[in-house]
């Protein structure tokens, strides 16, 4: 990006990486619209941030009405959005079971797809008019290395991994569709993070991951044209 974006929308900012990214973007002087799913307690508790640049917007990325309302709410503040970060995600506990115990009837497969795969796509569709008015036109889907088919090393976590592969494909399709309209579209693996999702053994604190991921989101597009990359900017195999 030649210049820093001035406006950005991020989903799933209640906690974890999303919350840490909000802090990071505010530190860079960006006006942040933060999608809140269930609780704004942590984001309201942030210290040393410029609250005049932060607007909280209720958003469930699996609910079409909620997404439409969120886009309309942002539109009441600004008609132009520079960056969209699809960060919201779920990794449901009950999917860490082997094939024999996989429950197809408990709804976790559908919920994972609705949030992780179709959620980002729905959000892009609803926010596209705002993004088209922006100057930097950047869409970043926080997917995962778990979505890589080439580098697959797991033998379970079907719902999470399959939904992240689908989000990667959405990224590639959107890239093909939107690059001619001046957009940059990326799928970013943020590292293994000590959030509720990543657990206490993970490598990176949310703040450490957010510093690296924000550098990628706010920085120039990779010169080699890679659009599936990790938090350090390394190209990932699809």
Ligand X SMILES: NC(=O)c1ccc[n+]([C@@H]2O[C@H](COP(=O)([O-])OP(=O)(O)OC[C@H]3O[C@@H](n4cnc5c(N)ncnc54)[C@H](OP(=O)(O)O)[C@@H]3O)[C@@H](O)[C@H]2O)c1
What token pair was written down for 162?
């399959």
Q: Which has the closest alpha carbon to 89: 150, 35, 149, 169?
A: 35
Kindly tell me which residue out of 46, 92, 169, 197 binds ligand X, with binding defined by CB under 6 A.
197
Distance, CA of 195 to CA of 20 (rounded, Å): 10
Q: Does 196 contact ligand X by CB under 6 A?
A: yes
Distance CA 213, CA 151 (A): 21
> 228 catalytic, yes or no?
no
**From 162, 186, 190, 236, residue interacting with ligand X (rule: CB under 6 A):** 190
Q: Which is nearer to ligand X, 96 or 132 (CB)?
A: 96
164 in catalytic set: yes
Q: Is position 115 an interface residue for ligand X (rule: CB under 6 A)?
A: yes
Least distance CB 6 / ligand X (angstroms):
24
87 in contact with ligand X (CB under 6 A)? yes
Mask for 38-57, x = binds ligand X (CB under 6 A) = x-------------------
Those residues with Cβ within 8 angstroms of residue 103's Cβ, 6 or more apart along the chain or in another chain: 94, 97
Shortest distance, CB of residue 99 to ligand X, whole angstroms?
22
For residue 229, give the DSSP letter: E
Decide whether 75 or 157 has the Cβ nearer to ligand X. Answer: 157
Alpha carbons 64 and 76: distance in angstroms, whole number = 19
């Amino acid at each position: 990006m030649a210049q820093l974006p001035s406006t950005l929308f991020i989903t799933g900012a209640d906690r974890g990486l999303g919350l840490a990214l909000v802090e990071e973007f505010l530190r860079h002087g960006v006006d942040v619209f933060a999608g809140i799913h269930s609780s704004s307690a942590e984001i309201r508790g942030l210290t040393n941030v410029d609250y005049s640049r932060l607007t909280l917007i209720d958003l469930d990325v699996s609910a079409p009405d909620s997404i439409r309302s969120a886009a309309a709410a942002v539109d009441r503040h600004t008609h132009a959005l520079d960056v969209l970060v699809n960060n919201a995600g779920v990794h449901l506990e009950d999917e860490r079971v082997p094939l024999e115990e996989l429950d197809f009837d408990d709804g976790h497969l559908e919920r994972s797809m609705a949030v992780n795969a179709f959620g980002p796509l729905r959000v892009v569709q609803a926010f596209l008019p705002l993004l088209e008015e922006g100057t930097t036109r950047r869409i970043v889907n926080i997917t995962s290395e778990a979505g890589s088919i080439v580098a697959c090393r797991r033998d379970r976590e079907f719902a999470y991994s399959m939904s992240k592969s689908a989000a990667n494909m959405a990224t590639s399709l959107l890239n093909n569709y939107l690059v001619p309209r001046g957009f940059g579209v990326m799928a970013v693996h943020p590292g293994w993070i000590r959030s509720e999702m990543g657990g206490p053994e993970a490598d990176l604190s949310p703040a450490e991951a957010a510093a690296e991921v924000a550098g990628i989101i706010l920085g120039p597009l990779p010169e080699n044209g890679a659009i599936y990359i990790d938090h350090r900017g390394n190209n990932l195999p699809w």
